[in-house]
Structure 1
């Protein structure tokens, strides 16, 4: 498949080069520059796929926005970048299909233009859920605008439907459109229920309200909505607010991920693993469901480091983490520290689980030399007893060390 490209169209070559440089620093996609409508037509005649185009409104051979019309006719996501104000309201219907407009009035505009291009490239992976009644006057306008910016859009008429879907996946943002056409008590309850599972940074919500009902929007923000926009919103206002809320959430999630994951292996770090395990332990006890804990440790790991170097030691730890996640994909997997790992979950069949442990042990014993160029083995302890989470892990740890003391490269049950 041919890789798509970013296209910058501007007759000011210095500006085009600055935009290209800024864009190349943040994206791996190729970038092409055209300085005129003629060059643009020649480029597109090659059949090249355009991811997003940033186009100056006035070019020497296209002084009245002809290049913009040409791009839109080709169904290319287009951002207008112009020194003169571009108002789609005063243009034909074709011109209203531009993805966004950036005023070329300051150095900051260059950064924002690049940011918009990157967002339009990433938006097809971003899901926007719209809660809207069938009596709405604004929902189709919102859907059209979201489609222009390439978001994945799903519409829901009932809050309960969103809650059902949230049990399966999480969108980038939830939009609540004109709550006066919905049952407000249901909307308030819905917001409260969502916030039990996701805070404002994990899942942003925006509401559309009229000026007459501004108090309702403020009340919903107190309940947990991140932001609101007026029913008489402009495209630029809506896009800026939407983009800002999604990107703030993504930044938070990236930081959250770093704080919860082990830097070397990307499995759960010790702190977050125990936080989740304790919650799961409490839930299993409440439901009278048995649990299990596995402790796993690379045998003679110091010899791996001493004889093959710390780089090989890191490779060994990473490989074990990958195998643990592969063999126990339905459970919590965390790095306890150094070369030691933990697995925790609900126990359905101890014999089957012990067999999985043996399969992991055998895989490590038989594949490490070929895969990593260094042979090592694995000792494990499997336990399903303990009245507290700490006692459960202590019991599994004791089982692990019985494996070590019995000669290593084996599984011990308790």
Structure 2
């Protein structure tokens, strides 16, 4: 299957080129430009897959929106970019299917148009969960609008169904519609329960309410809903509010990822590792389940740096981090700093974990030269005891240094 492309249709070549340049800075997808309906038809005849199209309303060979109508007939997500308001009258019912509309009225409109195209592209991977009753008059309208902007939509009639699904996956946003028929007290409780696990930035929620029930919407915002929109909403208002809430959440998650991730290896850093390990340790202790801690350290790392340079040292660190993640993918893995790493998790079978540790050690010994052009080894310390998380780590660290003192490239137990 060929890679999808962005399509810009505008008979003003300078504007088309500026849009392409702005879009190429933020996306790796190919970008095609057409200046007429005829060129657009010729391009689509090649079988190319269009990710999102940005189309001017008035072209020389299509002055009344015919190109927009054509793109929509091909089921292509289309943004109208026009110097005059697009009312869709010339396009019949097709205009209702446009993904968005941008007025070509200022230089800022170019940036906004590009942002809309990128957003529509990303929406194909975004999950929207809609909580609505089977008596709703607006649910299908919302679903249709969400599909126009390429969101993946799941509907739920009961709050508890969302709670169940939240145990295995998290959407980008939850929409609550028709709270009256859903029983408001149950919705209030649902909002409170969601907020116990997710803050406002981690999982945004929006509610749809009528003007008569505005107090209910405000009360729900006090309980933890981020935003609301009126039942008489316009598509433009809804899209803007939805987009802003999701983008704020995306920005929060991006900052959160940076704060908990090691910049070099992209695995967890020491601070986040300890925060998560303490929580997991407490749960395992409460359930009376065993655990393990594995410490790993690259042998003679200073010698690697001194002999081959810091760039090769970084390659060695990245290689070990990647292999740790592959060998211990179901556990918590982090870089502790320098050339030291740690793994923590529930212990189901000590023999199996020991075998996995040995397999990892041998893999580094045999594959490091192939991957980095430097042959190096790692020493390991394994522990499955301790009254608290700090003691467990200290015992694993002592085991690691026994491996170091006994010749390196070994696994030792606490």
Partner of 2:217: 217
Q: 1:39 deviation in Å?
A: 1.9
Partner of 1:232: 232
**Superposition pairs of residues 193-272 of structure 1, within 5 angstroms:** 193-272=193-272
- Counterparts of 1:90 and 1:228, CA distance in 2: 34
Answer yes or no: is the 8 Å Cα contact 1:84–1:103 preserved in 2: yes
- Counterparts of 1:385 and 1:176, CA distance in 2: 47
Matched, 1:174 2:185: no
Equivalenced residues, count: 414
Answer yes or no: is the 8 Å Cα contact 1:89–1:96 preserved in 2: no
Answer yes or no: is the 8 Å Cα contact 2:64–2:90 preserved in 1: no
- Counterparts of 2:2 and 2:395, CA distance in 1: 56
The structure-2 alpha-carbon separation of the partners of 1:78 and 1:17, relative to structure 1 and needing over 3 Å to count, comes to: same
- Counterparts of 1:82 and 1:229, CA distance in 2: 27
Answer yes or no: is the 8 Å Cα contact 1:9–1:40 preserved in 2: yes
- Counterparts of 1:105 and 1:44, CA distance in 2: 29
- Counterparts of 1:228 and 1:91, CA distance in 2: 32
Classify the secondary structure of the residue corresponding to 2:47.
coil
- Counterparts of 2:284 and 2:36, CA distance in 1: 66
Q: 1:89 deviation in Å?
A: 8.2
Q: 1:8 deviation in Å?
A: 1.1
Answer yes or no: is the 8 Å Cα contact 2:36–2:61 preserved in 1: yes
Deviations 1:327-353 (A, max 9, x none): 111111111110011111112222221
Deviations 1:127-177 (A, max 9, x none): 111111100000000000011111111111111111111111111111111
**Superposition pairs of residues 53-132 of structure 1, within 5 angstroms:** 53-88=53-88, 92-132=92-132
Q: 1:321 deviation in Å?
A: 0.8
**Superposition pairs of residues 15-414 of structure 1, within 5 angstroms:** 15-88=15-88, 92-414=92-414
- Counterparts of 1:91 and 1:14, CA distance in 2: 27
Moved over 6 A (4+): none
Q: TM-score, normalised by structure 1?
A: 0.97
Deviations 1:206-259 (A, max 9, x none): 111111111111111111111111100101111111111111111111111011
- Counterparts of 2:88 and 2:196, CA distance in 1: 41
- Counterparts of 2:21 and 2:230, CA distance in 1: 37
Q: 1:378 deviation in Å?
A: 1.1
- Counterparts of 1:134 and 1:87, CA distance in 2: 32
Deviates more, 1:133-142 or 1:121-130: 121-130
Answer yes or no: is the 8 Å Cα contact 2:65–2:90 preserved in 1: no
Answer yes or no: is the 8 Å Cα contact 1:57–1:80 preserved in 2: yes
- Counterparts of 1:89 and 1:275, CA distance in 2: 58
Answer yes or no: is the 8 Å Cα contact 2:205–2:226 preserved in 1: yes
Q: 1:402 deviation in Å?
A: 0.9
Q: 1:178 deviation in Å?
A: 2.1
Q: 1:98 deviation in Å?
A: 0.6
- Counterparts of 2:66 and 2:41, CA distance in 1: 11
Q: 1:371 deviation in Å?
A: 2.0
Answer yes or no: is the 8 Å Cα contact 1:270–1:334 preserved in 2: yes
RMSD (Å), alpha carbons: 1.3
- Counterparts of 1:226 and 1:165, CA distance in 2: 21
Q: TM-score, normalised by structure 2?
A: 0.97
